[in-house]
């Protein structure tokens, strides 16, 4: 079972909900995690449970980022609104950065989300490579301190 994080800015919630409704069968056997209001709306749309974090501006983006760092998220679908300023823009950038750091597929628009769910790699049970950060974690030894 894949775990998918779903996030949408207010200006993109309707687009995300419409896209999800079109692909309802795809999401039926997935574990879904979302930020606040987005999660509640997705749960109502799909009629299935969604684990809801806090609202994005209240820390939900950071909660999802932590789950990515803990290897608990397989994909991130984040319909962000590039035409609206967001008070939590640093959190948004940090979330997308963590997805890239941990090699998580990220869709920020409908086209990319479509490519991900229709990919033959998904049907083949693709397993992403998890980066090895041992060299980074051990870059300073006791003698270097």
Which residues are annotated as catalytic?
A: 61
Distances (CA, A) of 40 to 31, 45, 62, 127, 134: 14, 9, 18, 29, 38
Q: Is residue 42 a contact partner of residue 34, using CB atoms and an 8 Å limit?
A: yes
CA dist., res. 143 & res. 145, Å (int)? 6
Q: Is 18 exposed, middle or buried (0-12, 13-18, 19+ CB in 10 A)?
A: exposed
Contact present, 130 and 104 (Cβ < 8 Å): no
Q: Please answer whether residues 84 and 54 qualify as being in contact, where contact means their C-beta atoms are separated by less than 8 angstroms.
A: no
């Amino acid at each position: 079972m894949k775990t998918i994080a779903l996030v949408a800015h207010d200006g993109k919630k309707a687009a995300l909900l419409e896209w999800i409704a079109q692909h309802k069968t795809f999401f039926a056997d997935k574990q879904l995690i979302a930020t606040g209001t987005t999660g509640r709306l997705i749960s109502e749309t799909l009629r299935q449970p969604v684990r809801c974090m806090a609202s994005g501006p209240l820390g939900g983006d950071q909660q999802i980022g932590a789950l990515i760092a803990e290897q608990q998220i397989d994909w991130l679908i984040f319909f962000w609104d590039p035409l609206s300023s967001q008070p939590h823009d640093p959190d948004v950038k940090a979330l997308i950065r963590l997805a890239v750091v941990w090699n998580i597929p990220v869709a920020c628009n409908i086209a990319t989300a479509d490519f991900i769910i229709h990919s033959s790699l998904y049907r083949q049970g693709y397993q992403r490579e998890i980066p090895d950060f041992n060299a980074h974690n051990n870059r300073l030894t006791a003698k270097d301190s």
